[in-house]
Amino acid sequence: MTAATVPALTDAEFEREFEALRSALLAHCYRMVGSYHDAEDLVQETYLRARRGIGDFEGRSSVKTWLYRIATNACLTALQHHSRRFLPSGLGAPSGDPDAPVGTDSTVAWLEPLPDAALGRSGGDPAAEVVERDTVRLALIVAFQHLAPRQRAALLLREVLGWPAAEIAAAMGIGVAAVKSLLQRARVRIAEVRADQEIAEPPDSARDRELLDRWISAFERADVRDLESLISSDFSLEAAGHTTWFRGLAVCLPFLARRQFRPAGQLRMLPTRANGQPAAAGYLRQPDGSYRADHLTVLTIAGGKIIKVTNFLGERPVRDTGLPATMIGNRP
């Protein structure tokens, strides 16, 4: 084989590069589509598209840039079917009645949590892994959902990956002027959305774990007084799948006490993390004495208080974190 026919990327090199970037590509796809399971499918689609096109890779860009380009376009194709995922707070105002019926809507494309266990699995750059977690926090993912897909892609490639406008233009098949227009509109829209959101503080592992442990203890004991000491005055509570959500102590505490607390021994919770935030997996006691996964609770923290709780219902979000679907007593 002459030098002219030597491929720019061998099969072994491709496999090695792809595996090193897998978790970062997952985070990128998740930021684009707001669904962990769709993001996993899109990473696989990226792999297949790249594998088929490996012979066309000429080394004019890095393998990393080439793979992100493929992943971005795979996401844009997927977003032609539904371009936005929701949490209840994106559907309307909070209810002022703690006894209000909790509505459901199976036709809504609900936002999904991203387990921290899915990130940084390939032993990559620790600094890059921190960025991955900081840029998948729930409030940011919600904000990204307010952008049109191409605005979302341009903003993520520029602000998260640091690509220049010319590189973004090449990846998206548009002109540099069009990229700059997309970025301008995306930044304006993000600023509008973020102005209406709770702004969480940067993660603090010791503080976060202390608040999480206290939340778990208060919830397992159904202790409303302890719970009140942990949450802010404008605390809000929502669950993906429910169209009704609540805000403020006067509403949230009665709702929790009357409708969420379980008798002692009926609920067990295990600490975990999702979206770079502290989280708790909730298990409900079954007639045979075992506990089955019921929901995943993600905490948003600011000012040393829990300012928001987002619940993701069912056992699947729990299993996605790597925790089991059932446990005996306090042991998985």
| 205-328: CATH number | 3.10.450.50
Q: Which burial class, exposed, middle or buried, applies to 268 when counting CB atoms under 10 A from its CB (0-12, 13-18, 19+)?
A: buried
Residue by residue, DSSP assigns 195-214 as HTS--PPPP-HHHHHHHHHH
Instruction: From residue 44, give the alpha-carbon distance in Å to each of 36, 41, 78, 87, 250.
Output: 13, 5, 13, 26, 46
CB 227 within 8 A of CB 253: yes
Hey, what amino acid is at 224?
Answer: V
What is the phi-psi region of residue 68: left when phi exceeds 0, alpha when psi lies from -120 to 50, beta otherwise? Answer: alpha
Distance CA 220, CA 235 (A): 20
Confidence at residue 68, expressed as pLDDT on a 0 to 100 scale = 97
Confidence at residue 201, expressed as pLDDT on a 0 to 100 scale = 63
Distance CA 331, CA 328 (A): 6
Confidence at residue 60, expressed as pLDDT on a 0 to 100 scale = 78
Confidence at residue 134, expressed as pLDDT on a 0 to 100 scale = 85
Place of tokens 């006894």: 99
CB 243 within 8 A of CB 104: yes
Q: H or E element: which one contains 271?
A: strand 267-274
Distance CA 137, CA 141 (A): 6
CB 255 within 8 A of CB 245: no
Domain borders along the chain are 7-82+116-195, 205-328
Confidence at residue 2, expressed as pLDDT on a 0 to 100 scale = 43
Whether domain 7-82+116-195 has CATH 1.20.140.160: the reply is yes
Split the chain (332 residues) into runs of 10 and give each run's mean pLDDT: 60 93 96 97 97 85 93 97 91 95 93 93 61 87 96 97 95 96 96 74 80 96 94 96 96 95 93 96 96 97 94 97 87 54
- Residues in contact with 240: Cβ distance below 8 Å, sequence separation at least 6, in sequence order: 87, 88, 110, 111, 112, 310, 311, 312, 313
- Residues in contact with 281: Cβ distance below 8 Å, sequence separation at least 6, in sequence order: 269, 270, 272, 293, 295, 296, 297, 318, 321, 323
Distance CA 213, CA 191 (A): 33
Which of 50, 52, 26 shows the shortest CA–CA distance to 39? 26
